[in-house]
């Protein structure tokens, strides 16, 4: 079996599994939004959100899964909870997530221009390939195109959530925020398919070599 195809299939499996896990990961935000909509009591909503976040971490541990992502999510929930508790504004609970979207919306275009698409970096970590894909102009272009889909998802979330945040519509903001991870997971899956479609049947035979030069097998490929 072609090693490149094997890596592609493994990465697709990872993306799909993360898409399925998203339903569990949004439990804390869903709990906060639903309880605040029902009771309009910030303390109750924060307690339920933190409890749900801790529950997701315990669930991951029991199943023997990595808990890094749930722990990061729990950290954001705690930060958002602290902000909301301090100001008394339920919308501040979602401020950390908005900051993440803003950072990605600013940093991603810079990385794409520099030739370091975040999608390529993530895939390199998943497959153990690290940054060797950068030696192949075709794959760099493909990762950039795929990453544009994810960037569009972050921008779309900001376009919807920022007006809700500034207008103080906590329940509506929470409802959209629940869909955020699902939207980003779908964008990642779609972006991966864009990458696969762009690469096509191309297989660079020299990208694993120590040389930092672009492989000669890419002659005729268009550059960015």
Distance of CA 43 to the CA centre of its chain: 29
Q: Write out pLDDT tens, residues 89-133.
A: 999 999 999 999 999 999 999 999 998 999 989 888 878 878 888
- Tokens standing for 180? 């955020």
What are the extents of the domains in the chain?
A: 3-202
More confident residue, 89 or 61: 89
Q: Write out pLDDT tens, residues 11-47.
A: 556 656 666 677 778 889 999 999 999 999 999 999 9
- Tokens standing for 20? 């399925």
How confident is residue 221, by pLDDT bands cut at 50, 70 and 90? very low
| CA 77 to each of CA 50, 59, 109: distance values in angstroms, whole numbers, following the listed order | 7, 17, 27
- Stretch 46-59: mean pLDDT, rounded? 90
Q: Write out pLDDT tens, residues 89-100.
A: 999 999 999 999
In which region does residue 163 sit, left (phi positive, over 0), alpha (psi from -120 to 50) or beta (all else)?
A: alpha
d(C-alpha 121, C-alpha 148), whole Å: 14
pLDDT at 218: 34
How confident is residue 66, by pLDDT bands cut at 50, 70 and 90? confident
What pTM, to 2 d.p., does this model score? 0.76
Average pLDDT, the chain: 82
């Amino acid at each position: 079996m072609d090693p490149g195809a094997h890596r592609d299939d493994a990465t697709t499996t990872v993306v799909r599994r993360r898409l399925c896990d998203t339903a569990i990961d949004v439990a804390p935000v869903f709990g906060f939004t639903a309880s605040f909509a029902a009771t309009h009591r910030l303390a109750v909503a924060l307690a339920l959100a933190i409890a749900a976040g801790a529950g997701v971490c315990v669930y991951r541990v029991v199943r023997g899964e990595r808990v890094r992502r749930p722990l990061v999510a729990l950290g954001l929930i705690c930060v958002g909870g602290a902000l909301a508790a301090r100001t008394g504004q339920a919308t501040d609970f979602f401020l950390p997530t908005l900051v993440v979207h803003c950072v990605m919306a600013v940093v991603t275009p810079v990385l794409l221009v520099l030739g370091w698409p975040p999608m390529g970096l993530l895939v390199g970590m998943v497959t153990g390939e690290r940054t060797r894909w950068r030696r192949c102009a075709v794959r760099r272009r493909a990762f950039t195109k795929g990453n544009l889909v994810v960037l569009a998802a972050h921008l779309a979330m900001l376009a919807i959530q920022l007006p809700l945040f500034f207008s103080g519509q906590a329940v509506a903001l929470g409802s959209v925020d629940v869909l955020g991870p699902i939207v980003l997971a779908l964008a990642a899956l779609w972006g991966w398919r864009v990458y696969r479609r762009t690469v096509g049947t191309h297989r660079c035979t020299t990208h694993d070599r120590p040389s930092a030069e672009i492989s000669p097998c890419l002659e005729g490929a268009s550059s960015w």
